[in-house]
């Protein structure tokens, strides 16, 4: 058999591509078969739950106790400007027909907000709590090159701190700015909806800390849950719905200025 | 088949075997157990200790440690404010009562986080103008924080 260099290279490339494709298919079949297996915890079945979150922006008073409780519960560095949840203040002022929106979130709202615009000049103002949306189609999980971030069967997007290489792709990939780099851990970090609490039957720290009930947490699979009743009754919205990320944080009374 | 092709095949097979061998050592055992991630990390994240115990740990279910304060608070205007929202995380104190949580912040500024006038707050929420209300006294001088109108 006489073979040219070109043909040899072509043949070799085909084998390599074929082997790589084959390995991928075998691996995907292997992991797909394992996807619906038993829960990793004996006293908690993650197949029975699908967690969801409702924020009522009409109730929020901007006290920042949620962001403070989150930092205490999850050991988020207090001296860094990083937050798993934070409060934004939107103030719309009008001069003639010209409307301007001023958005601020000093220290995530933990230390309160300064009233630097006289109340008379403000046309409309409101607080909006922000948190990881735990998207059903999470961009941060797609971009992770090592499989260090993932969505659990109960719908929570988590970070594997042992496996994360700290490349920060996910921080860039998140359209909501919900991820941050944890300098103490040397990894990407984010809201877990307090996974260590909700799997023990407790509420996330931010929901428990909220003094006005602006934050609600519950099981979307349970038709009797409080959040399902809100979703059935109220006019709800999600952030950046057009991106197709399918967020599981639902907002009641969301203004058009909020992105 | 020509010998140079055989050699190329042999090298390719050795490379693949070598790759799989090295991979079996590097990739953790639980990787791919539930999906394209390390299955053990779910249990690790679940085992993080809890900080906030919840108001029912203070009194109510199974204990009556702070019975008096709890009974005042539970039908007050502040009943939606959980104990730990002001007093801080107390799970350690629940497990071992000798570990005392830090005393609650009783400054005007702390109460003001909720109650100082702000255009962004709902109009029906109780708010005061710190310049004109209370003569710079601590709020607790007049208001019981566990029941604000229980003077």
Residues contacting residue B94 through CB under 8 Å, at least 6 positions apart = B53, B57
Non-local CB neighbours of B59 within 8 Å, separated by 6+ positions: B65, B66, B67, B69, B70, B71
pLDDT value, residue A37? 55
For residue A120, give the chain B residue with the closest CA: B119
β-pairing verdict for A51-56 and A249-252: parallel
Instruction: Provide the pairing of β-strand A249-252 with A236-237.
Output: antiparallel
pLDDT at A89: 96
Determine which of A38, A63, A158 to mutate to test the interface with B (most B C-beta atoms within 10 Å).
Answer: A63
> Is 70 exceeded by the pLDDT of residue A39?
no
Mean per-residue pLDDT for A240-256?
95
User: Which A residues in the span 149-168 are in contact with B, Cβ-Cβ below 8 Å?
Assistant: 149-153, 158, 160-163
- Tell whether A146 is within 8 A of chain B (Cβ): no
ipTM: 0.88
Among A244, A253, A249, residue whose Cα is nearest residue A220: A249
**Contact (Cβ atoms closer than 8 angstroms) between residue A199 and residue A44:** yes
Question: What's the Cα-to-Cα distance from A38 to each of A218, A219, B27, B129, rounded to whole Å?
Answer: 22, 19, 22, 56
For residue A91, the chain B residues in CB contact (below 8 A) are 119-120
Please check the confidence at residue A71 and state whether its pLDDT lies above 60: yes
Q: Is B134 on the interface with A (CB under 8 A)?
A: no
B87 touches chain A (CB under 8 A): no
Using 50, 70 and 90 to split pLDDT, how confident is the model at A36? low
Q: How confident is the model at residue A31 (pLDDT cuts 50, 70, 90)?
A: low
- pLDDT score of A250 more than 80: yes
Sign for the CA dihedral angle at A201, A207, A213, A219 comes to negative
Compute φ and ψ for A122, nearest 5 degrees. Answer: -85, 125
Q: Contact A34/B116, CB-based, under 8 Å?
A: no
- Position with higher pLDDT, A178 vs A34: A178
- Residue A53 sits at φ, ψ, to 5 deg, of -140, 135
- Rounded CA separation B12/B7 (Å): 9
Rounded to 10 deg, the angle between the A5-34 and B3-26 helix axes is 30
The reply to whether residue B80 touches residue A213, judged by beta carbons under 8 angstroms, is yes
| % of chain A residues with pLDDT over 70 | 93
**Tell me, what's the pLDDT at A106?**
95
- Dump pLDDT digits (tens) for A154-204: 999 999 999 999 999 999 999 999 999 999 999 999 999 999 999 999 999
| Separation of alpha carbons B111 and A213, rounded Å | 18
Q: Cβ of A127 and B120 within 8 Å?
A: yes
Domain map (residue ranges) of chain B:
55-141
pLDDT at A41 over 80: no
Cβ contacts of A214 on chain B, cutoff 8 Å? none
State yes or no: pLDDT of A2 exceeds 80. Answer: no
Least confident range from A117-121, A231-235, A240-244: namely: A117-121
Regions of chain B short of the pLDDT cut 50: none
> Tokens at residue B79, please?
């009943």
pLDDT at B1: 81
In this complex, do B45 and A148 lie within 8 Å of one another by their Cβ atoms? Answer: no
Instruction: Specify whether domain A136-189 bears CATH 2.60.40.10.
Output: no
With contacts defined as CB-CB under 8 Å, which chain B residues touch A15? 12
pLDDT of residue A28: 67
Does A29 have pLDDT greater than 80? no
């Amino acid at each position: 058999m006489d073979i040219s260099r070109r043909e040899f290279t072509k043949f070799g490339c085909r084998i390599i591509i074929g082997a790589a494709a084959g390995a991928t298919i075998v691996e995907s079949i292997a992991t797909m078969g394992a996807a619906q297996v038993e829960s990793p915890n004996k006293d908690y079945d993650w197949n029975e739950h699908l967690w969801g979150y409702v924020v009522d922006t009409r109730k929020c008073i901007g006290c920042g106790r949620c962001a403070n409780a989150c930092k205490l519960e999850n050991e988020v560095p207090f001296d860094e400007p990083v937050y798993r949840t934070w409060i934004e203040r939107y103030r719309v002022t009008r001069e003639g027909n010209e409307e301007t929106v001023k958005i601020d979130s000093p220290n995530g709202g933990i230390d309160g907000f300064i009233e630097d615009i006289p109340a008379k000049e403000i046309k409309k103002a409101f607080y909006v709590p922000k948190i990881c949306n735990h998207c059903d189609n999470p961009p941060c999980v797609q971009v992770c090159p090592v499989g260090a971030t993932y969505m659990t069967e109960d719908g929570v997007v988590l970070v594997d701190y042992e496996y994360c290489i700290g490349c920060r792709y996910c921080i860039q990939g998140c359209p909501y700015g919900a991820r941050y780099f944890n300098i103490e851990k040397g990894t990407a970090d984010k809201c877990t909806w307090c996974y260590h609490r909700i799997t023990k039957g407790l509420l996330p720290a931010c929901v428990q800390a909220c003094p006005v009930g602006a934050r609600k947490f519950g099981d979307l699979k349970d038709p009797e849950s409080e959040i399902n009743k809100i979703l059935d009754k109220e006019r709800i919205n999600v952030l950046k719905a057009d991106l197709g990320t399918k967020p599981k944080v639902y907002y009641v009374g969301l203004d058009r200025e909020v992105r | 088949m020509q010998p140079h092709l055989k050699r190329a095949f042999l090298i390719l097979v050795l490379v693949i075997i070598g790759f799989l061998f090295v991979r079996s050592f590097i990739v953790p055992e639980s990787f791919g157990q539930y999906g394209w991630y390390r299955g053990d990390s779910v249990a690790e994240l679940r085992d993080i200790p809890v900080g906030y115990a919840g108001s029912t740990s203070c009194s109510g279910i199974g204990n009556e440690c702070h019975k008096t304060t709890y009974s005042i608070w539970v039908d007050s205007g502040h009943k939606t404010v959980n104990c730990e929202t002001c007093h801080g995380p107390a799970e350690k104190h629940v497990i071992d009562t000798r570990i005392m949580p830090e005393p609650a912040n009783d400054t005007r500024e702390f109460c003001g986080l909720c109650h100082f006038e702000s255009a962004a707050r709902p109009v029906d929420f109780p708010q005061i103008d710190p310049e004109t209300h209370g003569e710079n006294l601590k709020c607790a001088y007049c208001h019981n924080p566990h029941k604000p109108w229980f003077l």
